Amino acid sequence: MLLECKNVGKRFGKFVALKRVSLSFPNVGLVSIMGRSGSGKSTLLNILSGMARPSKGKVYYKGNDLSLFSKEQWRAYRSKETSFLFQHYNLLPEINVLDNVALPLRISGVSSLKAKRKAKALLNEFGLGKMAHRNVKTLSGGEKQRVALCRALSTSPRILFADEPTGALDETNAKKVMEALKEASRKRLVVMVSHNEELVKEYSDRIIELGATNDEIKKHSPRAISKKSRSGFSWVYRFLPSSIRKNAFKNLMSFASGLVGFSALFLSVGFFLGNQKAVEISSRRTLGYQSGTICKKDYVEMDNSPLKLVKQSRPSLEESASLLESVPSAIAEDDYSYFFPSSQVYEFEGEKRNPCSFLPIYDLTLNEGGKALLKEGEAPRTNDFLTCLVNEEFASIYGKVIGKWIYSEYLATVGEAGEKGQVLVSAKLEIVGVVEEFPFLNSPKVYYSHQGLKEYLRGLSVKEKDIVSFLAEQPPDSHYSSYRRRVFVHDEKDVPSFWALIQKSEEEGYEIQSEGKATADSFLALSSALSTSLTLFLSIAVAGIVLIIGLSSFSSFVSSKKEVALLRFFGAKESHVAFLFSLEGTLGCLLACLLSLLACPWLEKLVNGYFQSEFGVTNLLSFPYSNPVWVPFLCLGAAGLLGFLSSFIPLKVAGKVSIVEELRDE
């Protein structure tokens, strides 16, 4: 005997659907199973076909116990050895008639050409050849069932199971289907469940009524069944277009989320790659970039206290030169801020104005650097105390400033108690140029010549000496002189070395300050805080992309559970079915990544323009879109992998489908 069952029973909880059924079936012929409603006809058919497992008893095929079958043997049994004809056809509406019939062959590994050739032959055999390319939705019930029968016979199964194949048909179509089944039974075993007693008696070779005496099981020699089964893969791509159309809205949502996510991701990566270099470049855009100050720090212990006081004093020229040894072009000069304070009231256009910053530059002619910053006017031709440059922040207050004058005077008190005198330092500076600086934390500034002020102070006397000589003789802690020395770096290339001294100088008891570095450090601190926020944002963005793609793919999978059950019934591997639905998310992810790569140069330009106008930082974002050339391909590969894993893993883990439950006829 080809197929037999022994003492088979099936329970659903406390409900007994089938009890101690023993039957045997021949190699060929049409065997019909009948019985009253609820007798377990369909349950028995599902057990014999392998769609369900018995709670008790054994089922044998060619002498092999089905309960001992491996996963591959089960797939071979369902996809090649047996086939199934359903009451309600279970044709796939996404593909045409020809592809429906060829589907089991494609899944079993037959090439597309051979599968369609055989499917066409079967359709012609059953008078359906002209309908090969029609949509199954346009067929009548009888035509659908005959197409389903062609599909069931396409793999040339040894056993064809049919569950109420005429239940949804009129009398004429029911007879056509029964005649087709009778013809098919001449070469194979056809096991049919039906309640139509008239048709059963007319066409069956043998009738089994559940509840009557069961057939006796005959002894036989077991014959082997293949332990391996081929499973094709190319069928997946035939389903893909229709699946994408069916789930268009979900796929659009996945694509939109991916587009936003990848755009944000690329822009953020561009920020990580470009912000530090951009800040370093932007911080050079100040006339104070090549200057700074040095002071000496001494710690004084307090009696009976763990606290220490910090005493600041002016280092000697020798000490300053020794400290600046690693900066070849740097020199230390006296600071004249006692006689010309950096912040003071001034007159402009005949009116007194609020204080602004007056800062010295060693070379006001800008031959040593800074000419690129000139936005309006020109650099002074000489380093005298008659001209000045102002920054944009200053010019923005007063509008047109070129050729106008800044007047400032400071009355400095000199002398001990009882011998006090006063020295008037007055400056009338003509504005000859406006410089465009790094605007972050910038304030109105006036730049004058350090050398010009020095020469001017040589012409003023105090205690029978010119002020420059007087200051040079003052002790380091004198209140007449600054506690600091001015440092000027003549070669712009040496500024990084000068900045590197700042940390080192603290270890040696000195303090070096640079306005340019302080501004850069402040912006980098802000940038670092933004980077931290972006890291969190990116984590959320990537998690969002993964979640949306995964949910979309799983939702598409769940909404197509009947189709999935059919594919599994025809022998498709779980991983191949999961791959089909994963492809939608993967393609959406790839397309979103590609469009993001194409759009990001424009977005980058837009964002860089905003940061340049608001903060004066140029090229804050810098993503290597094409240099090196492999970067876009790497991004696309990573996006494809992300999309695939986001959908494939949840489908593989949680995408189990009960074939019996999903294919159970209404």
pLDDT tens readout for residues 394-420: 999 999 999 999 999 999 888 765 556
Closest CA to 339 of 513, 432, 459, 511: 459
Question: What interhelical angle do 235-246 and 97-107 show, nearest 10?
Answer: 130
Q: Which residue has the tokens 């032959």?
A: 121
What backbone phi and psi angles, to 5 degrees, belong to 492?
-55, -30
Co-location of 187 and 271 in the same domain: no
pLDDT band for position 662 (cuts 50, 70, 90)? low
- Return the pLDDT at 527: 78
> Which among 454, 479, 513 is the end of a domain?
513
What is the per-residue pLDDT across 187-199, written as a single tens digit (0 to 9) for each? 999 999 988 888 8
- Return the pLDDT at 395: 94
Which residue(s) pair with 3 in the sheet? 25, 61
What is the per-residue pLDDT across 513-536, written as a single tens digit (0 to 9) for each? 988 888 888 878 887 888 888 888
> Which among 472, 495, 513 is the end of a domain?
513
Characterize 33-46 residue by residue with b for buried, 16 or more Cβ atoms within 10 angstroms of its Cβ, and e for exposed: bbbeeebbbbbbbb
Characterize 482-521 residue by residue with b for buried, 16 or more Cβ atoms within 10 angstroms of its Cβ, and e for exposed: bbbbbbbbeeeebbebbbebbeebeeeebbbebbbbebbe
The span from the CA of 538 to the CA of 518, in Å, is 30
Co-location of 200 and 257 in the same domain: no
Co-location of 329 and 390 in the same domain: yes
What backbone phi and psi angles, to 5 degrees, belong to 30?
-105, 110
Q: Which residue has the tokens 């065997």?
A: 31
Position 473 in a domain: yes
Co-location of 51 and 134 in the same domain: yes
State the amino acid at position 310 in one-letter form: V
Closest CA to 517 of 504, 529, 500: 500
pLDDT band for position 659 (cuts 50, 70, 90)? low
pLDDT band for position 463 (cuts 50, 70, 90)? confident
CB 401, CB 461: distance < 8 Å: no
Distances (CA, A) of 145 to 95, 111, 261, 298: 16, 25, 47, 100
Considering its fold, how many domains does the chain have in total? 3
Position 597 in a domain: yes
Determine if the peptide bond prior to 628 is cis (ω within 30°).
Answer: yes
Residue 536 CB coordination number (10 Å):
9
Q: Is residue 567 exposed (0-12), middle (13-18) or buried (19+ Cβ within 10 Å)?
A: buried
The span from the CA of 39 to the CA of 56, in Å, is 17
Position 238 in a domain: no
Highest mean pLDDT among 122-136, 540-554, 574-588: 122-136
Characterize 187-201 residue by residue with b for buried, 16 or more Cβ atoms within 10 angstroms of its Cβ, and e for exposed: ebbbbbbbebeebbe
- Return the pLDDT at 212: 52
Closest CA to 208 of 41, 49, 18: 41
Co-location of 624 and 493 in the same domain: no
- Return the pLDDT at 655: 57
Range of the domain at 551: 244-284+523-663
- Whether the predicted pLDDT of 377 surpasses 50: yes
